Structure 1
Amino acid sequence: MRLPRPNVVFDYQLGGAYTPGDKVRAVSRDRGAKPVDGLYNICYVNAFQTQPGDSVSWWKKHYPHLLLKNDDGDLIVDKDWDEPLLDISTPAKREALMNVVGPWIDDCAAAHYDAVEPDNLDSYERSEGKLTPQHAAAFARLLAARAHQRHLAVAQKNTADLLPQHARIGFDFAVVEECGRYKECSEFSDAYGAKVFDVEYGKKDFTAACRAWGKELSVTLRDREVSPAGTDGYVYDSC
């Protein structure tokens, strides 16, 4: 297992893969994309929610019992991204989900990624009270164990509330969105030292984060849609 070097230039390419800049030393890409030779490659896996669009239909068809539902039987959906939540509320369902998500982690290893980034660890905050931080931590432990078995490092994605459990869960470093904006960088730094990749989406937040943390942490500016280079809306900077 290889951990990331601290305070290196980082690119966050979830919206589509493209050639990183010459100074970039670490990159996060969707699990369907190829890693970049010579860089530290982080494999993005949406582990606690479905992807939007066709993926929702796939889950409904193959694993409807693993989608979280409210008391009326309707799917509980992250409305910001149109992503139904996965049901991690029982040990049996978590084990069943590992039969789906686990092979995705295996694929990251087979593609020669260095680490995995399981997203939406904080989905319990959007679960209408159906999920708890304890459920999230329990599923995260399974994900981390699977990744470590495949010699992948594991990033904690956001979710400062679970920082006290980061070692017990098995997280090795952090990928954080807007820790500068939300004044959480110190908490993540306390847990992971300089092995924190912060992505800011606002120019003012990026400037402030660079001023406060640029000499210690990897701070990156991206557009919120994480658009590929060369497309409308693309924004990238680092400090």
Structure 2
Amino acid sequence: MRRPFLLVPLLALLLAACTAAPGPGADDAAGAKTPAGDRWRPRPGTDWQWQLSGRLDTSVDVPVYDIDGFDHSEETVAKLHRDGRKVICYLSTGAWEDFRPDADDFPESVIGRGNGWEGERWLDIRRTDVLEPLMAERIDMCREKGFDAVEPDNMDGYRNRTGFPLTAGDQLRYNRLIARLAHERGMAVGLKNDLDQIPELVDDFDFAVNEQCAQYGECAELTPFVEADKAVFHVEYELTTDRFCADSRRLGLSSLLKKYELDAWRQAC
């Protein structure tokens, strides 16, 4: 989850859900397991583009795109594949969004406090009996669109005021559940933020996505992913590139400067 930017009005972003196409040798049946070696595994330093709002610009010359799954079609993913790109599907797994087509499928009992973004509220991740089938349907949707990977957002509710007494153990169980759902469908999956639990979760995820680790002096905490030969896709919003790119290169991060609205604009290290 992007850290709320309080100096400008919050934008009602259409943030989204997504997952990805099965790797080579994946079974076509929904939920079928793919051998771990067949999943896409981005390596440290892989360049990328992250765009969750505005008209999608498919001309950025990078090997990886991370886009909103609800907003984009199978045809869009196929076009990016024809251009030689892997495509990551953004999906909020830890927060309810009132603008999603499946919003009414979430019972009020699992919807908690707002998370700082318009139309979004934390979910009670302890209720896997309710959330697992809902998240499986979202991941199935994105798999059918051909995505290569999932970027599940809001994966650190236990550190926030969610309205529920969530613990670190609850978060570990839920994050591993999301990773399993993606892997069973032949897709890679990234750990979004949740820096404190990286040592416990690095083996469960294929890459990491991080926001603002340089601004908050946290980037070294992502080293376990790089040491495991797994990419760390990183963005800053408020620092200029001369304040973080040297450290990003030293640490092996794939770093961008982006605007909070996550439109097409980018500056890469």
Fold match (TM-score > 0.5): yes
Q: SS of the residue aligned with 1:213?
A: helix
Q: Aligned equivalents of 1:42 and 1:65: distance in 2?
A: 30
For 1:199, the aligned partner's letter is: V
Q: Which residue of 2 aligns with 1:118?
A: 152
Instruction: Give the 3-state SS of the residue equivalent to 2:213 in structure 1.
Output: coil
Q: Are 1:79 and 2:116 counterparts?
A: yes
* Aligned-pair CA distance for 1:115: 0.8
Deviation at 1:39, TM superposition (A): 0.9
Aligned partner of residue 54 in structure 1, secondary structure: coil
Matches within 5 A, 1:19-38: 19-32=57-70, 33=72, 34-35=76-77, 36-37=80-81, 38=84
1:17-44 deviations in Å (ceiling 9; x for gaps): 5124443111111112242222121111
Candidates 241, 245, 250, aligned match of 1:210: 245
> For 1:86 and 1:77, how far apart are their aligned partners in 2?
10
Equivalent pair of 2:49/2:60 in contact (CA under 8 Å): no
Q: Alpha carbons of 1:22 and 1:226: their partners in 2 closer, same or farther (altered >3 Å)? A: closer
- Tell me, which stretches of 5 or more residues in structure 2 are unaligned? 1-38
Runs of 4+ in 1 over 3 A off after TM superposition: 191-194
Q: After TM superposition, give the deviation of residue 222 of structure 1 in Å.
A: 0.8
CA 1:62–1:212 in structure 2 vs 1: closer, same or farther (change >3 Å)? closer
Deviations 1:65-98 (A, max 9, x none): 4424xxxxxx411134441111112xxx213211
Which residue, out of 192, 206, 212, partners 1:178?
212
- What's 1:158 paired with? 193
The 2-side partners of 1:160 and 1:10 are apart by 21
Structure 2 CA distance for aligned equivalents of residues 184 and 192 of structure 1: 14
Structure 1 position 11 matched with structure 2 position 39: no
Residue in structure 1 matched with residue 29 of structure 2 by the alignment: none
1:236 is aligned to 2:240: no
Name the aligned partner's letter for residue 63 of structure 2.
R
Hey, what's the Cα distance between the residues in 1 that align with 2:89 and 2:54? 13
Q: Which position in structure 2 is the counterpart of 1:43?
A: 89
Cα offset, 1:105, TM superposition: 1.0
2:106 corresponding residue in structure 1: 63
1:54 aligns with one of 75, 85, 99? 99
Structure 1: which 5+ residue stretches go unaligned?
69-74, 230-234
Shift of 1:16: 3.8
Distance in 2 between residues matched to 1:82 and 1:123, nearest whole Å: 16
CA separation in 2, counterparts of 1:77 and 1:159? 18
Per the normalisation by structure 2, the TM-score is 0.74
Question: How far off its partner does 1:192 sit?
Answer: 3.5
1:137 aligns with 2:172: yes
What root-mean-square deviation, in Å, do the aligned CA atoms of Structure 1 and Structure 2 show? 2.1
The one-letter code sitting in structure 2 at the alignment partner of 1:64 is: P
- 1:121 aligned partner, one-letter code: M
- Cα distance between partner residues in 2 of 1:214 and 1:21: 24
Secondary structure of the 2:91 match is: strand
Contact 2:66 2:90 in 1 (8 A): yes
Against the structure 1 CA distance between its residues 80 and 111, is the aligned structure 2 distance closer, same or farther, given a 3 Å change threshold? Answer: closer
Question: What is the identity percentage for the equivalent residue pairs of Structure 1 and Structure 2?
Answer: 31
Match of 1:222 in 2: 258
Q: What is the count of residue pairs matched by the alignment? A: 219
Mapped pair 1:196 → 2:236: no
